[in-house]
Amino acid sequence: MSQKKITINDVAEEASVSVTTVSLVLSGKGRISAATAERVNQAIETLGYVRNRSAMMLRGGDSGVVGLIVRDICNPFYAEMTAGLSEMLEKQGKVLFLTQSGQHGQNLDRCFDSLVAQGVEGIILGGGAENASELPEKARESSIPLICASRASSLDEVDSIRPDNMHAAKMATEYLIKRGHHCIAWLGGSGSSLTRAERIGGYCSTLLQYGLPFRNEWIIECGSHQRDAAALTEQLIHHHPTITAILCHNASVALGCYFGLQRIGRTIGKGAVDSYYDQQVALVGFGDVPEAELTDPPLTFVTSSAREIGRSAATRLLQRMAQPDENIQNVIMPSTLIERGSA
């Protein structure tokens, strides 16, 4: 029988250290104590670990590889952001190495350690920064630049490029109010989502600013499955038929809401005056996707370009790699209203 190949994970377990620490010992980078390095080297000898010389050569210089951690690449925001990142990095001869941390960021540390083990020159954290409080210190120990391209709050100790979620929600809510809507509901997002919390903060503060009703039962949690959004839309309108406009947390929820309104005989459009009696509901989403123009009428969205956020994050990471001691930057990307027929 062939002998099991010893991996860097096995060495880490034997030495009771992280994969990142083993990688740093192998590469000779980072701040590792002599005692820890000795323990790792002893584990290597005990297990008979064969060092990957080509990988070690990459770690010793510029690998040309940049790591990206996202929760779910199927999310339209992350897909667009990744395209922007890759586009900008490729112009500089860099390759993007993609990992997924899971819907709740449960694999974040493992993703980070794997990227360090691959010898990346820098790492971009795409969202989920609320679960990443230990990453800045790990990045400093690894001498690897870390950038947040976050959808909500970011880490204070690292550069960040992020959308202004609160302003985006204020813009969408005020747009509907100025078109005559007084009963505006919110659909979508998880209660644990910081992005959702920031957007709802903008939505609620704008309603209060204009003296309009704020009702908890008009704010509905919902995942990104269109079927769930459609069913919850039907329930919402059934219980609160005076609602004339709905703000949707993301593009998938907006599309589900669209189908739900159609199923119960409501039309989607811009009208507000007496819209309860003509069964019309205005619909605005966040994020925008190409499918938004295929509905009838096309869907109105407020968006901070995910692709542009990716480009900006790539530019900032390249700057940080070239000048590691520069001051931390927190860049807020502006929002744009894409007005179409649904509101």
Q: Is 36 helix (H, G, I), strand (E, B) or coil?
A: helix
pLDDT digits (tens, 9 = 90+) for 160-207: 998 999 999 999 999 999 999 999 999 999 888 888 999 999 999 999
Q: Are 341 and 270 in contact (CB under 8 A)?
A: yes
The 8 Å CB, 24+ separation contacts for 8-17 are: 8/49, 8/117, 10/47, 10/49, 11/40, 11/43, 11/44, 11/47, 11/49, 14/43, 14/46, 14/47, 15/39, 15/40, 15/42, 15/43
pTM of the predicted structure, to 2 decimals: 0.76
Give the CA angle between residues 156, 158, 162 to the nearest 5°. Answer: 80
> Does 254 have pLDDT greater than 90?
yes
Residue 173's nearest CA partner among 155, 193, 192, 199 is: 199
pLDDT digits (tens, 9 = 90+) for 39-93: 988 888 888 887 654 454 444 456 789 999 998 888 778 888 999 999 999 999 9
Residue 312's nearest CA partner among 74, 65, 50, 89 is: 89
Residue 116's nearest CA partner among 86, 138, 91, 84 is: 138
Please give the average per-residue pLDDT across 301-318, as a whole number. Answer: 93
Q: Are 68 and 112 in contact (CB under 8 A)?
A: no
Q: List domains and CATH numbers for the chain.
A: 1-61 (1.10.260.40), 63-162+305-333 (3.40.50.2300), 165-303 (3.40.50.2300)
Give the Cα separation of 210 and 55 in Å (integer). 60
pLDDT score of 48: 81
Q: Are 25 and 41 in contact (CB under 8 A)?
A: yes
Residue 62 has what DSSP assignment? -
The residues pairing with 272 across neighbouring beta strands, listed in sequence order, are none
pLDDT score of 57: 43
Please give the average per-residue pLDDT across 97-117, as a whole number. Answer: 86
Query: Which residues, at least 6 apart from 106, have a Cβ–Cβ distance to it below 8 Å?
Result: none
The residues pairing with 66 across neighbouring beta strands, listed in sequence order, are 96, 122
The residues pairing with 245 across neighbouring beta strands, listed in sequence order, are 184, 282
Q: Are 177 and 343 in contact (CB under 8 A)?
A: no
> Does 34 have pLDDT greater than 50?
yes
Query: Which residues, at least 6 apart from 82, have a Cβ–Cβ distance to it below 8 Å?
Result: 68, 70, 73, 96, 98, 126, 310
Structure tokens at 298: 């096309």
> Does 229 have pLDDT greater than 60?
yes
